[in-house]
Structure 1
Amino acid sequence: MNQLTFLGTGDAMGVPRVYCDCEVCMEARLTGENRRKRSSVLIHEGGHVRDRYEDRRFMIDCGPDWRSQMEDQGIRMVHTLLITHAHFDHIGGLPEWADACRWLGVKGKLYAPREVIVTIQAQFPWLARHMDFLETDDGIEVGGWSIRSWKVCHGHNGYSYAYRLEREGYAWAYCSDAIDLKKQEKVLLYGLDLLVLGTSFVHELAEFSTRSVYDMQEAQELLRELQPRQTYFTHMSHDVDVRQNYSLDQGITVALTGMTVKLG
């Protein structure tokens, strides 16, 4: 049975924000229920991430918290990554991952859409010594999953990519950074057993043209259209207090760091 573990559920700044003394950030420092590292997930087989199927596990995104996320789970290496886009909170851990590849004498596999690979290679031209860059544009097979990627609107921040993964009649998608999706961008989000969706705020008041990720109110409107069987909200800022009951629609769960869910 494949499983998904949330390694991080925070937005680009994480929680607590270093400069902030709001109630959520202070609680995150003191008791930690709201402590959130940058968003990333691990897909693995078996009852625990530390199992004999390490060659089948892979991560989606590799932000600047990669090292501490690995330590949190008690695992020493992941050989395969999927990257959604080349923003720092999604690729900031790549140099550390590359260094792990170097020390262990392995060649990592980094999967991403072609234009994302080009951007990563421009930022970190030396990474190719320690990993293979593999394009996802025409579909890929990883860990027994058939995977498709497609571009989605990231609002003021340009674009990101979402992934749809299918295996043995089960379909789920990862869409951490998106807003104002158009008809064609939503096609692969129908017919899902599970959707991981980014929602940075409960209700964001900033002018719409300056925004980059759905808030929870907008996300629920989207979900009423898409109707996935199960949804997990991630990529949450310090506006979200996991201790609160936001009266979300049935089937929606606010993801917590370390939470594991079954894929199938």
Structure 2
Amino acid sequence: MNDQQNLSPVNIQFLGTGDSMGVPRVYCNCAVCEEARSGGVNRRLRSMLLLKGLDGDNRADDVTLIDCGPDWGRQMEAAGLRRIRRILITHAHFDHIGGLIEWADACRWTKEKGIAYAPQEVIDEIKGRFPWLDRWIEFRAADEPLQFGSWTVSCWRVYHGHNGYAYAYRFEQKSTGYAWVYCSDSIGLDESQKRPMMNCELIVLGTSFYKEPYPFHTRSVYDVKEALELLLELQPAEMLLTHLSHDIDSTRNYELPAGVHFASSGLERSLGGNRA
């Protein structure tokens, strides 16, 4: 087998980097929301990630999403996408699954059944709320590692604080050990939950605030200060911060360490593959 020759990179693109409410907030006239309202860099749709080339077959339709929030239609249009092959789902909160209804309707009209991967408990929650979705979306359990091309994809349960639980995804090319992680909704991870995030080139982590002022027991996502502590412990080559609220001002210089950046809509990375 020529596994080394067949290794292909996956290209990721952020289609949304906002938290559960997005930016601007309808009710808010803070400086960040006003800048976003004028079409500025702080305008953020709900967090969603596009992956191209996960199967490594160079097909134009080799596209995958992580999550499917209520901004799905606008995000698809902005990315120039008319169809999506599959979606990986992190958890069943509305800002991560609200677009499944629109996707199912698109699948109905195109007569192309979509495939959604998620842990079984997440699938059960979704189908409990929307029992008719499986007419046009095939739900497949992701409790065991999945294989797409040269990429092994595994997920694990992470603490989501006051909001319960979510799942993070690790993407790894076993023959080279190249790995990256997407963990949009988590806080206070214990050692077992942090272990799959070690030895990664990239960690995409959700951080809604720079320094969240509310009591810990009421919170659900890391803040930037805590993410930087996690960075020192896990030491990825790069950390991209997503799931950003209107507390984060992308026009401001936060003097983040080298390799740490706030993700923005349209930001792309090429990950893995043969790197001579």
- The TM-score, its normalising length taken from structure 1, stands at 0.96
> Is the 8 Å Cα contact of residues 12 and 89 (structure 1) preserved in structure 2?
yes
Matched, 1:84 2:72: no
The change in CA–CA distance for 1:55 and 1:22 in structure 2 (over 3 A counts) is same
The change in CA–CA distance for 1:55 and 1:31 in structure 2 (over 3 A counts) is closer
Letter in 2 for 1:27: E
User: What whole-Å deviation, never above 9, does each CA across 1:147-169 have from its counterpart, x for those lacking one?
Assistant: 00100000000000000001252
Matches within 5 A, 1:1-264: 1-45=9-53, 53-142=59-148, 144-167=150-173, 169=176, 170-264=178-272
Q: Distance in 1 between matches of 2:10 and 2:191?
A: 30
Letter in 2 for 1:89: D
* RMSD (Å), alpha carbons: 1.4
My pick for the range that moved more, 28-37 or 83-92, is 28-37
> Is the 8 Å Cα contact of residues 57 and 143 (structure 1) preserved in structure 2?
no
Paired residue secondary structure (2:61): helix
Identity of aligned residues (%): 54
Letter in 2 for 1:189: M
User: What whole-Å deviation, never above 9, does each CA across 1:165-192 have from its counterpart, x for those lacking one?
Assistant: 0125221000000000000000100000
User: What whole-Å deviation, never above 9, does each CA across 1:33-92 have from its counterpart, x for those lacking one?
Assistant: 10000001000039xxxx962332100000000000000011101120000000000000
Paired residue secondary structure (1:55): coil
Letter in 1 for 2:208: S
2:5 alignment counterpart: none
User: What whole-Å deviation, never above 9, does each CA across 1:228-258 have from its counterpart, x for those lacking one?
Assistant: 1111000000000011111112110110111
- The TM-score, its normalising length taken from structure 2, stands at 0.92
Q: Distance in 2 between matches of 1:88 and 1:192?
A: 29
Letter in 2 for 1:15: V
Letter in 2 for 1:67: G
